[in-house]
Amino acid sequence: MPAIQSVETLVVQLPTRREHRWTGLNEPIGRYLLVKLTDDAGNVGWGEAPALKDWGGEYQRYFGESTATTELVVSRYLSKAIIGVDVRNIVEVHARMDSVLKGYPYAKAAVEFAVYDAAARSLNVPVYTLLGGSVRKRIPVTHSLGLISVADAEAEAAKVVSEGIKTIKIKIGVDPKRDVEVVRAVRSAVGSKAEICVDANEGYETAGLAIQTLRKMEQYDLKYAEQLVMGIEKLAQVAAAVDVPVMADESAWNAHDVIQIVERKAAQIVSIYTTKPGGLYRAMEVAAVARAAGLICNVNGSVETGVGNRANVHLAAAAPAVTLSCVVPVSTNAVDLDGRSGGIYYTDDLLKQSMTFNDGAIEVPDGPGFGIDVDEAKVDKYRISN
């Protein structure tokens, strides 16, 4: 039995292609905790906590985590709790992490990704095989336009669509007038070549304002509208009033939240993260509840570096409920960038090979573990003190 032997933590900061913000986010992306786990058979796995202190659940549920909190939680509590556990016994890893410290799903996810990576390498299979197999070999990518100017949004949308992107997500929730204008501009820039969705990150203060604003946007053909307001109750009011399907993100942290969403009829779509529920095993539980209730899903995230994005790709490959294009980065090293922006938020990355992006989709890597190795020289290059 390959037993977990060591769990190391370090912090990196990847350089960003442009500032990427959304409603409520006031800190830079790309400053994240990495976890390197080794078992006594020599298998190595890597994970990441893309924790943002400004990112949490509705009404301050599931508090923000940060590089400081995740490093403390992993090094002081989680690593000690799992030393000696069979690396392939994922449920035991979760039980021990949950018994030593409640909450902190991003810290737990980082450790769990590293466990899955090492476990799959020990069995010489891809991580998605441990999740039950793959229903998709290609993950269509939604490109996210952060809170940028209308002119910049228009230009970036046209550029990424010319690179093959087929779905654009527009961050809204600031000012209804600006929000309607940016949707109009992006639709006129991409025509019928791309689907458009919007994400308000709880930005509208009332359900009425969200409903009014969405009605003005519907003429530009929205695929879905994400988390217009804070709270399952208000989201349900919006969902009942508009035709465009509503997606829950901040309201849908874990499987229990999805049960509440189903009970309140608050959304038709759920945004699954590998991190919000505390790892891939838990994310598959979220997907199972959604599927049982007839909700559809995408995989969404926190603009991970390649290290954590590998987990996104394997979840999207494995979960049958995930039928939508996913808001995951196209993790690309500087040498392979070639002026591209589609799904790209950083000017370099941390993997030995860039992810393969073809006709708007990431090809799921099928090697052992997460299928693409971490480049430790790159990790050293972008390492910072916490």
- Taking the least distance from each CB to Mg ion, the nearer of 114 and 198 is 198
- Taking the least distance from each CB to Mg ion, the nearer of 156 and 199 is 199
User: Shortest distance, CB of residue 274 to Mg ion, whole angstroms?
Assistant: 14
- Taking the least distance from each CB to Mg ion, the nearer of 74 and 229 is 229
- Taking the least distance from each CB to Mg ion, the nearer of 156 and 249 is 249
Residue number, nearest CB to Mg ion: 249
DSSP annotation of 250: T
- Taking the least distance from each CB to Mg ion, the nearer of 195 and 249 is 249
**Beta bridge partner(s), residue 10:** 34
Helix spans in the chain (H): 67-72, 79-82, 90-100, 105-123, 127-130, 150-162, 176-190, 207-217, 232-241, 255-264, 280-293, 306-318, 376-382
Q: For 90, phi and psi rounded to 5 degrees?
A: -65, -40
β-bridge pairing 44-49 and 269-272: unpaired
Q: Which of 199, 202, 257, 348 binds Mg ion (CB under 5 A)?
A: 199
- Taking the least distance from each CB to Mg ion, the nearer of 329 and 368 is 329
User: Shortest distance, CB of residue 372 to Mg ion, whole angstroms?
Assistant: 26
- Per-residue x/- track, 277-296, Mg ion (CB under 5 A): --------------------
Tokens of 374: 């971490």
Span interacting with Mg ion, options 94-102, 136-144, 224-232, 350-358, rule CB under 5 A:
224-232
Residue type, 348: D
- Taking the least distance from each CB to Mg ion, the nearer of 142 and 331 is 142
Crossing angle, helix 255-264 and helix 280-293, to 10 degrees? Answer: 20
| Alpha carbons 99 and 149: distance in angstroms, whole number | 46
Span interacting with Mg ion, options 154-162, 199-207, 286-294, 346-354, rule CB under 5 A:
199-207
Span interacting with Mg ion, options 64-72, 79-87, 196-204, 281-289, rule CB under 5 A:
196-204
Span interacting with Mg ion, options 30-38, 79-87, 103-111, 225-233, rule CB under 5 A:
225-233
Of the candidates 196, 191, 185, the residue with the CA atom closest to the CA atom of residue 226: 196
User: Shortest distance, CB of residue 77 to Mg ion, whole angstroms?
Assistant: 29
Tokens of 151: 């002119």
User: Shortest distance, CB of residue 144 to Mg ion, whole angstroms?
Assistant: 9
- Taking the least distance from each CB to Mg ion, the nearer of 87 and 266 is 266
Q: Please, which of residues 120-149 interact with Mg ion by CB under 5 A?
A: none
User: What are the Cα distances from residue 274, in Å, to 156, 223, 256?
Assistant: 27, 23, 15
- Taking the least distance from each CB to Mg ion, the nearer of 130 and 210 is 210
Of the candidates 62, 94, 60, the residue with the CA atom closest to the CA atom of residue 78: 94
Span interacting with Mg ion, options 10-18, 193-201, 336-344, 375-383, rule CB under 5 A:
193-201
The beta-carbon contacts of 38-42 under 8 Å, at least 24 apart in sequence, are 38/4, 38/5, 38/6, 38/118, 39/2, 39/3, 39/4, 39/5, 39/87, 39/118, 39/122, 40/2, 40/3, 40/5, 41/2, 41/122
- Taking the least distance from each CB to Mg ion, the nearer of 22 and 116 is 22
Instruction: Kindly state the number of chain residues that form the binding site for Mg ion, as judged by CB under 5 A.
Output: 3
When asked if residue 71 is in the footprint of Mg ion (CB under 5 A), the reply is: no
User: What are the Cα distances from residue 167, in Å, to 160, 235, 325, 330?
Assistant: 10, 23, 7, 14
Q: Which of 249, 257, 304, 348 binds Mg ion (CB under 5 A)?
A: 249
Burial of 75 (0-12, 13-18, 19+ CB in 10 A): middle
Q: For 5, phi and psi rounded to 5 degrees?
A: -110, -40
Span interacting with Mg ion, options 125-133, 242-250, 251-259, 346-354, rule CB under 5 A:
242-250
User: Shortest distance, CB of residue 271 to Mg ion, whole angstroms?
Assistant: 6
User: Shortest distance, CB of residue 304 to Mg ion, whole angstroms?
Assistant: 14
Which residues are at the interface with Mg ion (CB under 5 A)? 199, 226, 249
